Structure 1
Amino acid sequence: MDLLVEKLDGSRYYLSQYKVLITEFEESAPSVTRNNMQLDQRNGNIDFGGWHTDKTIDITGYYRANDMDEEEALREKLYALLSDPNGYYITQLKTTPSVAMERPGETSGGYYDRLKDYPSHKRFLVYTEAPEMELVGNVNGTLLYKLTAEFKTMKLPYGETPPTEIDVSSNVPYRGTVPCNQLEQGFTVQLTATGSASSLSFKIDDAELTSSNAVAAGDVILLNGFSYTQNGLSIVSKTNKAYFILQPDKPNRITCNVPGAVRILSFQNLYA
């Protein structure tokens, strides 16, 4: 396996560039925090709900160095790459053989050269406090080191697909496994009107945003959960301040009283 590290400036690095072979990639479930209170002379607790806080990803890998000087140079580069306080995205590159299954002894040699890596369908925005390197031993005249790191998610406690823009005709094609809350993830609904109406009613399933502003053909309306604009001007005072949540295994059907083209900006699938 391999690990792709994408910095926030768009630069991309593979741990294999630093001679690291990833052997383990373990992803935890999102941790849950609950808000509850116990009152005197009352059995049990009053529960005010819960939420996901973060997710942990543990990796293990190995790298070789010809001598102590080369290992020190590799260690410094790995520290610089992984100990970034601004965070970065990581993507697991899974390994699959490029050849069919074969019987023991059918061929010899070159097995690892025939392996190919392919990226996971999700990535994680993470940081790590302190990657650790441990000397394992001397193998065929080279030093073998073990690399371990524990990553924690920084913003959303989920795996994410890269943000994109999609055109929507009827249903939002959400494929995530957890709800995508517009106030947390930040996607924007863009409506470009091709007709007119005295007011606006825009729904995704049962969530409805209404505006008392008249809509004319050509108007561009942006709805992102806390800011609502029409042709660049705020219409917050004219709305019911609703927001949308894309639900897994639901149709996420769009209905609107104004004909027009709908786009979802910064659309992502989120995975537990």
Structure 2
Amino acid sequence: MDLLITKGNQETRLSSLGFYNIDIFDSSASLSVNTRSVTGRNGFIYDDGTYTQKNIKVSARVRVANASAFMQLQDDVNALLLDSDPFYATKMYPNETDFYGFEVPGAKTGDIDLLNLPHTAWKYRWKVVISSTPEYTFLGKAGDWLKYDVSFALVTAEMPFGETKPKDIGLSGGAFGYAGTAEFSQLEYPYTVELTSSGTQSSFYLTIDGRKFTYTSNVALKAGDKFLLTGIETTLNGNNVNNRTNYEYFILKPNTAKKITYTTDFIGSIRILGFKEVYR
């Protein structure tokens, strides 16, 4: 395993700092339940529940040539992880499919190059900050190397879910794919539904996953007129037109078919800008 740290356009793998035998454990998102009690009534009245945070624990081993190299490693690790601004962390898995395959003694010679094994990033990542600073345990000297066990922990900084990188998708055919396992709401993630008119109509509706947005006007749209629906605001060519809508927002909900259906009488093209799949 490996862990990819992304800050803006800069990406750093833990293995590039000399880490190996990396183990990553991510907990399920913590659920906070709100209940009420009533005198004379057994149990509780359930109000609602919200997911609060996800914890990611990382352990690894590292080797250095001497004490000076160890202190430099500590500085490099602190520079990477101890940041007051959230950053993205992505699990990576080795490409070699038979990495854990059975071998009889002597079947292969030489050491496994743990630091240079090709890895692939997992489909989603977490937005995190450090929650437990790196701790080092000295194991001893092996050959020319000083070896240490290292551990630290991260916690989600905003939403307690993994998320894919944002992309723009066009809608056609009445359905589009959504493989996420958590709800993707416009009130929690800043994604936009863009509608570009072909002209002629003055009113329309758009229903996505059961939530219906409507726009009503007496003025016909022109070809190229563009709506941006953010969930809290609707603009037409940059001008706010909330008063002509029903103030609806969209939530994409996970389902076993991994498909989201939509219906509309809008004449033109529809895109979702900043689309993500979100995972518990």
TM class by shorter-chain length?
Answer: over 0.9
1:111 aligns with 2:108: no
Q: Which amino acid aligns with 2:270?
A: V
SS in 2 for 1:222: strand
The answer to whether the Cα contact below 8 Å between 1:84 and 1:127 also exists between their aligned partners in 2 is: yes
Give deviations 1:235-272, integer Å, cap 9, x for gaps: 11221111111122253222222211111101001111
Return the alpha-carbon distance in structure 2 between the equivalents of residues 215 and 60 of structure 1.
61
Change (3 A) 1:147 1:215: farther
Q: Corresponding residue for 2:5?
A: 5
Matches within 5 A, 1:19-168: 19-97=18-96, 103-104=103-104, 105-112=106-113, 115-129=117-131, 130-168=133-171
Is 1:178 aligned with 2:182? yes
How far did residue 151 of structure 1 move? 0.8
8 Å Cα contact 1:5-1:91 kept in structure 2: yes
Which amino acid is the alignment partner of residue 145 of structure 2? T
Q: Is structure 2 residue 227 aligned with structure 1 residue 199? A: no
SS in 2 for 1:77: helix
Partner Cα separation in structure 2 for residue 48 and residue 98 of structure 1: 47
Q: Following the alignment from structure 1 to structure 2, what is the Cα–Cα distance between the partners of residues 22 and 159?
A: 23
- Counterpart of 1:256 (choices 264, 268, 275) is 264
Letter in 2 for 1:188: T
Cα deviation, residue 99, structure 1: 6.4
For 1:111 and 1:142, the matched residues in 2 are separated by 17
Partners of 1:215 and 1:112 lie apart in 2 by: 66
Quote the sequence identity (%).
Answer: 31
Bigger mean CA deviation after superposition, 105-114 or 154-163: 105-114
- List alignment gaps of at least 5 residues for structure 1: none
Asked if the contact 1:203–1:254 (Cα under 8 Å) also holds between the matched residues in 2, the reply is: yes
Unaligned runs of 5+ in 2: none
Contact in 1 for aligned 2:25/2:58 (Cα 8 Å): yes
Task: Note the C-alpha offset of 1:183.
Answer: 0.8
- Provide the C-alpha distance between the structure 2 equivalents of 1:157 and 1:22, rounded to a whole number of angstroms: 26
Paired residue type of 1:5: I
Matched residue type, 1:107: K
Kept after mapping to 2: 8 A contact 1:83/1:131: no
TM-score in terms of structure 1 length:
0.93
Aligned residue pairs, count = 271
Q: 1:211 and 2:215 equivalent?
A: yes
CA pair 215-91 structure 1, distance change in 2 beyond 3 A = farther
Query: Which of 165-174 and 184-193 deviates more?
Result: 165-174
What root-mean-square deviation, in Å, do the aligned CA atoms of Structure 1 and Structure 2 show?
A: 1.9
Amino acid at match of 2:231: G
- Counterpart pick for 1:239 among 209, 234, 245: 245
CA offset at residue 75 of structure 1?
0.4
Stretch of structure 1 that moved more, 104-113 or 77-86 = 104-113
